[in-house]
Amino acid sequence: MGIPKILILGAGYGGLMTAVRLEKILNYNEAEVTLVNKHEYHYFTTWLHEPAAGTKDPDKCRVGLDQILDMNKTQFIKGTVTSIDKEAQKVTLENGEDLSYDYLVIGLGSEPETFGIEGLRNHAFSISNINAVREIREHIEYNFARYNQEKSSDLVTIVVGGAGFTGVEFVGELTDRIPELCKEFDVDPSVVKIYSVEAAPTVLPGFDPELVNYAMEVLTRKGVTFKINTPIKECTPEGVVLADGEAIKSNTVVWTGGVRGNAIIEQAGFETMRGRVKVDEFLHAPGHDNVFVVGDGALIINEEINRPYPPTAQIAIQQGNNLGDNIVATIRGAKLTPFKPSLKGTVASLGKGEAIGLVGSKKIFGTTAAIMKKVVDNRSLFLIGGLSLVMKKAKL
Ligand code: FAD
Ligand code: NAD
């Protein structure tokens, strides 16, 4: 029998952190580790609202995997996973290549949850990866460029569907970018409209009401029009239709209405809720001691409130770390350590110099929160790529 083969799918926060941890603790020739990812880089999903709005260069939000991993220890395959056959212990890539495994780590992240809303898939953008955000930025710029010739207000009306953290962070960035765009393309700022549409009675549903009010005040002052308690019912080439019948004409609809686990997991026959697998305390997929799920694809329950933990990078990184240890423990026949999230808090940006956050039970606002947001972002760089990644990409 050869050495065990560990196959990791996805180099996001969960998958990459697992690979980083394995590199640190596996002995020479103890296992063969292969990482498959669509791109030869890792992108910082948590920063993507910035390049989407055009306030940051997309290149600043990614790093080559060869700069994080030791390619002598981790074999990297650039490829797109199309299916997982858990019975045959085999993964198939888009180019037809089959990869076998003894241990499988599924870290394929999430995809937009459209709730079956008509037209969203075809007519709305989503903030989901580097290529997707490049498209959003270019599209907005092109529409501003067209405005003076065509004078249609749809070209400078942006609708953001869903005011969870992604939607709120994105509109915050947009409000910073619009003055620049207006200057560059000679557009009168008063014709530009940014709508944040939310189905729930409040933006950031479930978050601290005082912080929510603060966020709404800041963003309203910066030019955002909120439409709350009004779900988007349909998305068309002309814009969106809300549940109350109102139609907002817009050439740019960005859907930030939530996420579900990567469809590949469901297609592989795992039982899922919103595409996420309810894993056990060691991140095993039920009934499969050699298949683990990390990050947005893994559903774990917060027993204190009997609800799933939200899919976050914070938890994905912690899971990757724990999983690296547990895979090695499995190989060595040692005791596994149950995964328990250690939540540090939530900080959300509202654009340059403004943010809100809950750190432990302490509420933070404005500049303090904006500084804390940079600390949080830089901390995740450190956890993934150590000081050298912080030196290359840190937010100052
Ligand atoms: P990801 O980081 O999304 O990585 C998935 C990887 O799998 C990617 O590299 C992708 O290319 C690869 N992949 C996908 N499909 C395939 C395939 N078929 N074949 C091969 N490779 C594939 N969370 C926080 O904790 N704090 C924040 O401040 C925060 N801010 C956010 C801001 C935005 C704009 C967004 C969109 C999310 C934010 N989140 C935040 C949530 C966080 O980004 C996710 O929970 C986290 O990225 C999940 O990590 P993951 O490893 O599961 O997936
Ligand atoms: P989400 O599920 O948190 O928010 C989606 C929002 O869209 C909800 O408020 C929901 O009510 C709304 N919505 C759903 N259907 C709608 C409809 N038809 N019309 C209008 N609104 C509708 O999703 P997200 O914001 O993409 O966040 C995904 C995950 O990433 C979450 O776990 C979040 O905590 C995390 N995240 C964290 C941060 C941060 O910590 N700073 C930033 C971004 C994302």
> 385 and 68 in contact (C-beta within 8 Å)?
yes
The CA 256 to ligand 2 mean position distance, Å, reads: 6
From the CA of 296, how far away is ligand 2's center (Å)?
Answer: 13
Eight-class DSSP state of 208: -
Q: Which two tokens stand for residue 326?
A: 């547990």
Q: What is the pLDDT of residue 185?
A: 98
Q: In ligand 1, which atom is closest to the CA atom of 49? A: 34
**DSSP label at residue 3:** P
Measured from the CB, is residue 162 less than 6 Å from ligand 2?
yes
Say yes or no: CB of residue 120 within 6 Å of ligand 2.
no
Mean pLDDT by 10 residues, the chain (396 residues): 93 98 97 98 98 98 98 98 98 98 98 98 98 98 97 98 98 98 98 98 97 98 98 98 97 98 98 97 97 98 94 98 98 98 96 97 97 97 97 95
Site to probe by mutation for ligand 2, drawn from 47, 165, 254 as the one with most ligand atoms within 8 Å of Cβ, is: 165
Give backbone dihedrals phi and psi of 29, rounded to 5 degrees, phi first. Answer: 65, 20
pLDDT computed for residue 1 by the predictor: 63
Residue of 40, 108, 299 to test ligand 1 pocket, by largest number of atoms within 8 Å of CB: 108
Q: What is the CA radius of gyration of the chain?
A: 22
Pairing of strands 90-93, 81-85: antiparallel
| Nearest-angstrom CA–CA distance, 199 and 211 | 19
Ligand 1 atom closest to Cα of residue 348? 28
Of the candidates 50, 113, 169, 173, the residue annotated as catalytic is 169
259 lines ligand 2 (CB under 6 A): yes
- Taking the centre of ligand 1 as the mean of its atom positions, its distance from the CA of residue 104, in whole angstroms, is 19
- What domains can you pick out in the chain, each with its CATH number? 5-38+79-112+259-343 (3.50.50.100), 120-255 (3.50.50.60)
Task: Please tell me the residue having the least CA distance from ligand 2 atom 35.
Answer: 312
pTM equals 0.98
Return the best residue to mutate from 99, 127, 267, 312 for the ligand 1 pocket (most ligand atoms within 8 A of CB): 312
Q: Is the CB of 112 under 6 A from ligand 2?
A: no
Q: What is residue 21's three-state secondary structure?
A: helix
User: Mapping DSSP to helix (H, G, I), strand (E, B) and coil, where does residue 45 land?
Assistant: helix
Query: For residue 355, which ligand has an atom nearest its CA?
Result: 2
163 and 204 in contact (C-beta within 8 Å)? yes
β-strand pairing of 74-78 with 32-37: parallel
Q: Is residue 169 annotated as part of the catalytic site, yes or no?
A: yes
Q: Answer whether 106's CB lies under 8 Å from 297's CB.
A: yes
Contact 371, 357 (CB under 8 A): no
Q: How many alpha carbons lie under 13 Å from residue 240 in its C-beta half-sphere?
A: 27
DSSP 139-196: HHHHHHHHHHHH--GGGGEEEEE--SHHHHHHHHHHHHHHHHHHHHHT--GGG-EEEE
Query: Which parts of the chain fold into alpha helices (H)?
Result: 13-25, 49-53, 120-123, 130-150, 165-185, 209-221, 263-267, 313-332, 366-393
- Ligand 1 mean position to 256 CA, how many Å? 14
Contacts of 285 (CB under 8 A, 6+ apart): 86, 106, 270, 277, 279, 291, 292, 293
Question: Which residue has a Cα nearest atom 28 of ligand 1?
Answer: 46
Burial class (CB in 10 A: 0-12, 13-18, 19+), 94: exposed
pLDDT of residue 2: 85
How many helices (H) and strands (E) in the chain? Answer: 9, 29
Q: How far is the CA of 312 from the centre of ligand 1 (A)?
A: 8
Q: How far is it, in rounded angstroms, from Cα 236 to Cα 254?
A: 12
Of 205, 229, 218, nearest to 171 (Cα)? 218
pLDDT at 327: 98
